[in-house]
Amino acid sequence: MKRLFFWACMAIIYVSFAGCRDWQGNSASIVVPEAILADSTVADTVVITLPFKEKLLTAADIILTKDLLYDQYTLEDSYPYKDTVRSFKWEVIRNCLAYIENMQRDTARWVVLQNYKNQNREAPLVRQFVRDAYRRISDTLGVERYQSVPLYLLTDTVVPERYGRDGTLAHLVGEEGGFYRIRPATLENEWWAPRRYLKLLSDTILFNHVVFVDRLDQNITALERIGKNEWKIRSMNPATTGRRAPPYAQETPLGMYLLQQQKSRMVFLKDGSSETGGYAPYASRFTNGAYIHGVPVNVPRTAMIEYSASLGTTPRSHMCVRNATSHAQFIFEWAPVERSLVVVIE
């Protein structure tokens, strides 16, 4: 119950301002979970001192205004679904946006963890590992080795301690030999990571476009920063996230990721086969093989499909986030690559 409450209330990071010291002229602190991605029902916490002395923003400081740029299939703030009520979790979203604004005050250089399809080499085995429901190796926090980045303790660069998900943002703290010292935005502590797995981002980058995906209520909303603390709601739509169905389909992972890549047509294979199964239109990749995309087009059909009645119902994707095709196109054209964030909550 504690874990569910944590994710439902605070999304990726639980930001506690009660533990902060005097706002004026002193260091600020946030409290983050010791095991953000753990399946444990108990989440210990650790206090991190932030590298700036300004007053931290809270959810109450974030101003949200509806100003839709995409107005098809728009959902209400709260809406019925079967015998329940679903909603857009604006308070959770405000908390996340406050965190995103706070983290961008640090002038350190941003890097992104990248290992899509193990293109930068399969990560070494971590010190303690298990096999998950898909028979793949993962660390004890449930992050798979495949497509992940090895993270090493500052005291040991021989055997990695855990894996970092592809698409995770981190501040560059230092470098030594073939390693970068990083502080991930959604993980506790600092870590060493081999340079081959990290991509340096522009030193002038600002994340003013954020897409929130709610895998519990199966909806998606796009927000754009238009000024300090001010965000415009650009779309509010139904979506369908990934389902847990070994050995092929996986849940869309909770967390905050950089939008890394876009394909106007993302070709996919049939399960367990090397044959083409079809394509997903207007695909925007944010972690591993997870894309925000339109309604899948299965072979032999070639024409795009605008809408599916399954959108906004229950998880049924392979990890991706399905949308109405015109909404996927909106995200594709609206959100700049490597300057936009995708936040998955529940």
Say whether both 337 and 255 belong to one domain: yes
User: What is the band of 218 on the pLDDT scale with cuts at 50, 70, 90?
Assistant: very high
The answer, yes or no, to whether residue 4 has pLDDT greater than 80, is: no
Structure tokens at 171: 């501040």
CATH, residue 169: 2.30.30
Q: What is the mean pLDDT of the segment spanning 152-164?
A: 97
Within-domain flag for 105 = no
Count of domains forming the chain: 3
Q: From the centroid of its chain, how far is CA 314?
A: 20
Say whether both 129 and 186 belong to one domain: yes
**Domain housing 307:** 209-345
Say whether both 225 and 194 belong to one domain: no
- Rounded distance, CA 74 to CA 236, Å? 5
Q: What is the mean pLDDT of the segment spanning 95-107?
A: 92
Mapped onto helix, strand or coil, the DSSP state of residue 256 is strand
Q: How many helices (H) and strands (E) does the chain have?
A: 3, 24
User: What is the band of 188 on the pLDDT scale with cuts at 50, 70, 90?
Assistant: confident
User: What is the band of 113 on the pLDDT scale with cuts at 50, 70, 90?
Assistant: very high
Within-domain flag for 302 = yes
Please list, in sequence order, all residues whose beta carbon lies within 8 angstroms of the beta carbon of residue 333, skipping any fewer than 6 positions away: none
Say whether both 155 and 268 belong to one domain: no
Structure confidence by residue, pLDDT tens digits, 62-96? 999 999 999 999 999 999 999 999 999 999 999 99
Say whether both 246 and 321 belong to one domain: yes
Counting Cα atoms < 13 Å in the Cβ hemisphere of 76 gives 6
3-state helix, strand, coil in the chain (%, to 5): 10, 35, 50
Strand-pair category, 198-200 with 255-258: unpaired
User: What is the band of 55 on the pLDDT scale with cuts at 50, 70, 90?
Assistant: confident
Say whether both 184 and 224 belong to one domain: no
The answer, yes or no, to whether residue 134 has pLDDT greater than 60, is: yes
Q: Supply the pLDDT for residue 107.
A: 74
Say whether both 281 and 176 belong to one domain: no
Is 46 in contact with 32 (CB distance < 8 Å)?
yes
Say whether both 190 and 216 belong to one domain: no
User: What is the band of 106 on the pLDDT scale with cuts at 50, 70, 90?
Assistant: confident
Within-domain flag for 86 = no
Say whether both 172 and 224 belong to one domain: no
% of the chain with per-residue pLDDT over 70: 84
Torsion of CA 49, 182, 221, 2, to 10 degrees: -60
Within-domain flag for 75 = no
The answer, yes or no, to whether residue 126 has pLDDT greater than 80, is: yes
According to DSSP, the residues that pair with 322 across neighbouring strands are: 240, 293
Of 200, 232, 265, which marks where a domain is finished?
200
Of 13, 29, 54, which marks where a domain is finished?
54
Say whether both 215 and 313 belong to one domain: yes
Say whether both 156 and 263 belong to one domain: no
Residue in 190, 332, 166 with CA at minimum distance from that of residue 265 = 332
Read off the amino acid at residue 190.
Answer: E
pTM for the model stands at 0.86
The answer, yes or no, to whether residue 266 has pLDDT greater than 60, is: yes
According to DSSP, the residues that pair with 149 across neighbouring strands are: 164
User: What is the band of 53 on the pLDDT scale with cuts at 50, 70, 90?
Assistant: low
